[in-house]
Amino acid sequence: MKIIGITGGVGSGKSEILNILKNDYQAKVIQSDHVAHELMVPGAKSYDAIVQAFGNEILNEDQTINRPILGEIVFHDEKKLSLLNSITHKNVDEEILSRIDQFGKEEPEGLLVIESALLVGAGYEKRFDQLWYIYTREEVRYERLKASRGYSDEKIKQMIEKQQKEEEFKSMASNIIDNSGDLEDTKAQIIKILG
């Protein structure tokens, strides 16, 4: 089994890369954000602790967590963000490790791709064969986030400032993919790495 970790800033186009790996290389993809969301549903591992920490005002009528409301709360408050991370990160890391083991049993020759904004320090990065950093010029990231999510320049600037610095990402990566151009250019870079 080969494991590739994929990381990069908001708006870098990580989803495009994941689609190429799924479609062209039959990769199985684990996205840490999706795992985190799955663990927030009622009855799942992170649910009770989040509701206890943030109160019933984050709940929808059906008792599911209203992620936009929770997101607003933690986006503007570092302490509350740290609290949420202390609840969720450990659970997400454990779940991803369990899925890596499961995939290894099911598809010992397969390609597994793990995507996360915070890959280093999670504990499972030691198991990666490669760590790819998806680099995209900042103005391209702004354009993409405005088009896909309707974010304002101010919101994008805040989001980018809260993330790890590019140098930190690059220093840890075994491969850097420049995703500032068109899709064919990106595909060519992936072919160079994976054949």
DSSP result, 33-102: HHHHHHTTSTTSTTHHHHHHHH-GGGB-TTS-B-HHHHHHHHHT-HHHHHHHHHHHHHHHHHHHHHHHHH
pLDDT tens string, the chain, 195 residues long: the values are 999 999 988 889 999 999 999 999 999 999 999 999 999 999 999 999 999 999 999 999 999 999 999 999 998 898 999 999 999 989 998 999 999 999 999 999 999 999 987 665 566 777 899 999 999 998 899 898 888 888 888 888 888 787 777 887 788 889 999 999 999 999 999 999 998
The Cα 146–Cα 35 span in angstroms is 26
> In angstroms, rounded to a whole number, what is the distance separating the alpha carbons of residues 100 and 102?
5
Sheet strand arrangement including 28-31: 28-31, 111-115, 2-7, 130-135, 175-178
In the prediction, which pLDDT does 25 show? Answer: 96
pLDDT given for residue 115 in this prediction: 93
pTM here is 0.86
Burial readout 28-58 (b: 16 or more C-beta within 10 A, e: otherwise):
bbbbbeebbbebbeeeebbbeebbeebeeeb
| CA–CA gap between residue 78 and residue 27 (Å, rounded) | 36
User: What is the Cα–Cα distance from 21 to 26, expressed in whole angstroms?
Assistant: 6
